[in-house]
Each structure stands twice: as C-alpha cells, then as structure tokens.
Amino acid sequence: MSERPSRADYRCFYPITTRWSDNDLYGHVNNVVYYSYFDSVANRYLIEEGGLDIHGGDTVGFVVSSGCDYHAPVAYPERIEGGLRVDKLGNSSVRYGIAIFREGEDRALAHGHFVHVFVERAANRAVAIPPTLRQALEALQK
C-alpha cells in the first residue's frame, strides 16, 4: 500500500454526501463506491470549471483506467470530501489524482487515480482536449 497523501497534495475539493446504500455488510462504505466518488469529483470539476457539456457536447471523456488504495474506513453518515489534482496531462487524455478525506482531517481515507480519454462523441475516436477543458485541467497540475 502506498503512503497516505495529505490535503496539501490536492488542488480542488468537493463535499461528498454518503448514502445509506454506500455501506456494505461490514458497516462501512464498500470499496467499489469510492470509484463512484472519484467519477463524481472529476466530472463535477469538468462541468463546472471546464464547461463540459455531458448531454449535448461533441466531446466526452471515457474512463480507461482507475485504481485505488484504501487507508481507513468511512461509513454512512459521515461528512467526506474529494480532493482532485492532475498528475499527467496529454494531448487527448488526463490522469487525475483523487483522494477521499473525512471533513476536517488532513490524511486521506483513500486515494487513487482515474484516466479519461477524450473522444468525439459521434465518431467515438480520441481527439485533442478542447481548449477550455485543457485550461481548467492545467490549473490542477501538481
């Protein structure tokens, strides 16, 4: 397992609402739910800061790789936040670093990566990241 990152390692934070259905039989958030949190954090940033039009835009982001290391459990109903940064920015892809923090705590409960490849919706082929998205992603580079 890799080292637990701190808040200082991330550029942007969003609150996340845990749900009753996030808990598993063991009474904590199930591991697969963290990927949903990652997806929500990255896409919220792209929509709000990069102008991504998820419903009608010509360009969409497809997840092609993801991974997560877990450090401490969280359970409903806890207040958590997702931290976001850009680890690598390519021509048509971006690798995010994302971490989950308990509200007010410095060390991550979990952290991982998530890779988007941007594609032209109609042709389903990789395209260069549009300028407004690229500018927003550049602001998150570590």
Angle between the N-to-C axes of helices 31-50 and 131-138, in degrees from 0 to 180, rounded to the nearest 10: 120
Mean pLDDT by 10 residues, the chain (142 residues): 90 96 95 96 97 94 96 96 98 98 97 97 96 98 86
pLDDT of residue 142: 77
pTM > 0.85: yes or no: yes
pLDDT of residue 61: 95
Q: Rounded CA gap, 88 and 104, in Å?
A: 28
pLDDT of residue 2: 76
Domain architecture of the chain: domains with CATH: 7-138 (3.10.129.10)
pLDDT of residue 1: 60
The token duo for 105 is 């705590």
Buried b or exposed e, range 64-81, using 16+ CB within 10 angstroms? eebebbbbeebeeeeebb
Q: Rounded CA gap, 81 and 102, in Å?
A: 6
| Bridge partners for 65 per DSSP | 115
User: Measured between alpha carbons, how far is residue 100 from residues 74, 75, 81, 88, 112 in Å?
Assistant: 10, 12, 6, 20, 9
